[in-house]
Amino acid sequence: MRVLHLAWEYPPNKVGGLAEHVASLAKAYGEKYGEVIVLTPGYGDFKEYEKEGNVEVYRFPAENIPAEDFPSWVAQLNTLFVNAAIPIIKEKDIQIIHAHDWIVSNASIILKHLFRIPLIATIHATEHGRRGGIYDDRQQFIHFLEERLAYEAWKVIACSYYMRDEISYVLHVPHDKIEVIPNGVFEVEDSLLADTEERSKYALPYEHIVFFIGRHVYEKGLDVLIKAFAEALKVRDDLKLVIAGKGYYTEEAKNLVYSLGIAHKVAFLGFISDDERNKLYTLADIVVVPSRYEPFGIVALEGMKYGKVVIASDVGGLREVVKHEYNGLTFFNENVESLKNQILRAVSDEQLRNYLSKNALNTVKNEFNWYAIAQKTAKLYYNVLEEYENIGWKPREEIKEIK
């Protein structure tokens, strides 16, 4: 089976978790089930084409798109997607188009109807969920494209049951059209583990490292973590908060740290490489996911696969991954006192840490392994193709003449 993935971000171009999701799914699926072709924008000195195993990646140049605003940029990006996809679909005899999120919606819908190929869409998050509603024209624009993509897709993939319900309610999609397939992680390779001597780069020997990684945006709840950390320091001073990532909230977060008088206990690393991220997961004692809105929460899984104590807010898909007092700890959403208590509890109780770590590793191995997720995805593809073969909607002969 040959599947074409349309993704607006893909390594090394990483904005959020979507890039890692597509790359991981492609790797696992390609190793076990068939050919994967990924089409994505390229920037700077990115390779236009690369192949590893059964995964081929095509990148079209997308720098300097002359757009006066964001909707115009998206529209032109989709035109580039269509132009680049046509020869690939013809040459590779693509059987499934798999679109990831709203930014590629127009291109995926055009290609679906042009070639009459089944379209599957993974909706990683919704604009309504990110913003708590639709309030302005830009948000309405995104919301419309999400609705259209969900409508046109043969099946919609949601990463959690929480997201299934959100997609159904917000985008008016019946439950039987939505397939719940979670995100996943690969097992930790020994080469990704950090030498404990590297710990001195981030904290003093006696300090417990509390680690946050993610986009610095309102919905990720970084401000809640900083306030809770400041309160925890009043109880014990052997803590260090290490913050990775960047975003529009970064400067405000730094100002909050200074205003609370805890700058000596907080390190802002900015955007970090995958290698440094993996090392920090190794070195950290606690990984905190304080999101206000989280369709799934891949950072929680990343922390769990390294056997760390994950403390997560009790929202969205996080509740389906982190089970309180079994494989992690949860706190009441946006509740500074609740998060402070869980941080103190985690660093103070070694027996609890060991218990949570053991169960976290078992959870990742048994429930959130990328190969098991690729198997579920392959089953969905085959089911869709079986339905497709039994209907009269097939490619038109004249399409073969398109160059």
- List the domain boundaries for the chain: 2-184+369-401, 190-367
Tell me the average pLDDT of the chain: 93
Q: Tell whether the model's pLDDT for residue 401 goes beyond 70.
A: no
Stated pTM of the model = 0.85
> Would you state the pLDDT for residue 188?
77
Q: How far is CA 339 from CA 33, 212, 370, 375, 381, in A?
A: 42, 13, 30, 36, 41
Query: Which superfamily does CATH assign the domain made up of 190-367 to?
Result: Glycogen Phosphorylase B; (3.40.50.2000)
Q: Tell whether the model's pLDDT for residue 400 goes beyond 70.
A: no
Section 65-70 average pLDDT: 87
Q: Tell whether the model's pLDDT for residue 320 goes beyond 70.
A: yes
> Would you state the pLDDT for residue 123?
96
Q: Tell whether the model's pLDDT for residue 191 goes beyond 60.
A: no
Q: Tell whether the model's pLDDT for residue 398 goes beyond 90.
A: no
Give the SS3 label for residue 379: helix
- The model's pLDDT over 30-65, given as tens digits with 9 standing for 90+, comes to 999 989 999 999 998 899 999 999 999 999 999 888
Section 69-92 average pLDDT: 94
> Would you state the pLDDT for residue 186?
87
Q: Tell whether the model's pLDDT for residue 192 goes beyond 60.
A: no
Q: H or E element: which one contains 91?
A: helix 70-92
Q: Say which CATH architecture domain 2-184+369-401 belongs to.
A: 3-Layer(aba) Sandwich (3.40)
Q: H or E element: which one contains 287?
A: strand 286-289
Check for a shared fold between 2-184+369-401 and 190-367.
yes
Q: Which of 118, 53, 121, 109 is nearest to 81 (CA)?
A: 109
Q: Tell whether the model's pLDDT for residue 26 goes beyond 60.
A: yes
89: which residues sit within 8 A by CB, 6+ positions away? 4, 111, 115, 117
Q: Which of 78, 132, 129 is nearest to 107 (CA)?
A: 78
Give the SS3 label for residue 51: strand
